[in-house]
Amino acid sequence: MGKAARILIAVAAMFVLGAGLGASLGVVSGSATAAADSVIATSPMPAQDATPLRTAAVASQAPLPHAPPPHVAAPRPATPQTVAVLPDDTPPRDAALPAWQRFAVPVAATVGPRIAVVLDDVGVHVPNGRRAAELPGPVTLALMTYARGLDELAARARANGHELLVHVPMEPFDGKWDTGPNALRTGLAATELDRRIEWALSQFDGAVGVNNHMGSRFTSDPESMTVLMAALADRGMLFLDSITTGATKGRVTARTAGVPYLARDVFLDNEPDPESVWARIAEVEALARRNGAAVAIAHPKGATLEVLRVWLPSLAARGITLVPLSALVTPQPLLAAN
């Protein structure tokens, strides 16, 4: 074979190799783009969640578990934080314990910032309620009193390691809002208020406590809140104040009754588009780092659930521990009644 022929063969081989490499790189790039474009909810978007997920935006905010979304500050170097739900062979809880301890999701002791995520209104929209119960956790699901199928939903949530609250409708200042049946209202006869509280707390088993749905008027009325706190104290339940009014009497009436009290720090999805939810996530992470703990409340809307599905598993790598609500209870002194 002549020298010229050998040169022509070598050039042809280099051309084929380069084409193959280029084709290979093209396949990888195409796959990555297709994956990014397919970041959508795992079930069809319900009619009430009309705001569509912008797939490119969601993908760009959290494409990889180890890469925080751009709206969220990079994690500080820290000892890795873990939350370990205790194994199934954990001894049964003492029946004499108060409900907030008896039904609490047990977790291993941790140090560093902690966040409890509470989902309100769970069960009203059945498919999204089931999706909420399948989130990585532990999270705390506040089941609406008048939703259907609460026993089944509660069992599903607890089996997946989540904690439960009773989400109780309460009277708002603005009377145009429909609070649903058996809402707690100021001005009710004592017997009727007691009946409504009993009805709300008997809708399903296994709740550690109660939080308010709406309730700006009811929670600001000390007489009404004193009745509610007495009922919670009798049952050993905690109270999470959603803080729908700055005039809430939740803290003082809870302490007087000896009821464990917690308060919401951030609503994650008052604006339910993904970008706004990520911005609120940045706020709650900053609060947890500054104060040691924070409580975030969200709702089982399609876009919110998709953001939570991405964010929750990333917390441990970011030096933050995801905990059930009961893990944030601290001893509180009783206040003398006036």
DSSP string, 40-61: --SSPPPTT--S---HHHHHHH
> What is the three-state SS of 101-131?
HHCCCCECCCCCCEEEEEEEEECCCHHHHHH
CA 196, CA 182: separation in Å to the nearest integer?
6
In a domain, 300, yes or no: yes
List own/partner pairs for 33-39 with CB under 8 A and 24 or more apart. 35/59, 36/60, 36/63, 39/306
In a domain, 64, yes or no: no
In a domain, 55, yes or no: no
In a domain, 243, yes or no: yes
In a domain, 251, yes or no: yes
Phi-psi region of 296 (alpha: psi -120 to 50; beta: other; left: phi over 0): beta
Domain that holds residue 292: 98-328
* Mean pLDDT per 10-residue interval, the chain, length 338 residues: 46 39 32 28 31 29 39 41 42 79 93 97 97 97 97 97 98 93 97 98 98 98 98 98 98 98 98 96 98 98 97 96 96 47
Q: How many domains does the chain have?
A: 1
48 closest CA partner among 118, 119, 129, 117: 129
Q: What angle do CA 8, 13, 18 make, to 5 degrees?
A: 130
pTM value is 0.74
In a domain, 77, yes or no: no
pLDDT score recorded for residue 2: 52
In a domain, 116, yes or no: yes
How do residues 207-224 score in pLDDT, each as one tens digit?
999 999 999 999 999 999
**CATH number of 212's domain:** 3.20.20.370
CA 299, CA 119: separation in Å to the nearest integer?
5
Q: What angle do CA 330, 334, 338 make, to 5 degrees?
A: 145
298 closest CA partner among 328, 271, 263, 262: 271
206 closest CA partner among 104, 300, 281, 77: 104
- In which element (H, E) is residue 132 found? helix 126-133
In a domain, 213, yes or no: yes
